[in-house]
Chain A
Amino acid sequence: MMLAGRRRSGRVRDARTMTGDVHDPARARRFRDLALPHLDEVYTLARYLLRNTADAEDAVQECYLRALKHFDTFRGGAIRPWLFAIVRNVCRSAYAQRSLGEEKPTDDALPLWNEAPETPEACVLRQRDEESIRRLVSALPDQFREAIVLREINDLSYREIADIIDAPVGTVMSRLARARAMLRAAWQSAEQEGRQ
Chain B
Amino acid sequence: MTCEEARVLLHALIDGELDAGNARHVETHVAGCARCTAELAQYREMRQAMRGTNLRIGAPDALRSRIEAAISRPVRAPAPTRRSLLQGFALGTALSAAAAASVVFVVVRSDQDQHILGDVVSAHLRSLQGNHLTDVLSTDQHTVKPWFNGKLAVAPPVADLAAQGFTLVGGRLDYIDGKAVAAIVYKRRVHVINLFVAAAADPGHTAARGEVVQGFNTQRWSDQGLRFIAISDLSNDELREFHTKFEAALRAGA
Contacts and interface: CB of A to CB of B under 8 A. Distances in A.
A5 interface: yes
Contacts of A152: 47, 50-51, 55
Interface residues of B, number: 86
Nearest to B34: A121
A32 B69 CA distance: 11
Interface stretch (B35-43, B131-139, B142-150): B35-43
Contacts of B116: 2-3, 5
Contacts, number: 243
Nearest to B235: A171
A19 interface: yes
Interface in B26-40: 34, 37-39
Interface size of A as a range:
35 or more
Contacts of A68: 71, 74
Contacts of A89: 91, 94-95
A65 B17 CA distance: 34
B85 A12 contact: no
28 contacts: A1-B201, A2-B176, A2-B229, A3-B113, A7-B113, A23-B77, A28-B72, A40-B57, A43-B58, A44-B57, A57-B63, A61-B63, A64-B67, A64-B71, A70-B92, A108-B189, A112-B7, A125-B45, A134-B55, A134-B57, A151-B15, A164-B94, A168-B217, A169-B233, A170-B191, A173-B11, A180-B46, A184-B42
Interface of B: 4, 7-9, 11-12, 15, 17, 34, 37-39, 41-43, 45-47, 49-60, 63-64, 66-68, 70-72, 74-77, 80, 82, 85, 88-89, 91-95, 99, 105, 107-113, 115-116, 176-177, 179, 181, 189, 191, 196, 198-201, 212, 214-217, 220, 222, 227, 229, 233-235
Interface of A: 1-13, 15, 18-19, 21-23, 25, 28, 31-32, 36, 39-44, 47-48, 53, 57, 60-61, 64-66, 68-70, 72-74, 82, 85-86, 88-89, 107-108, 111-113, 119-121, 123-125, 127-130, 133-134, 137, 151-154, 157-159, 162-174, 176-177, 180, 183-184, 187
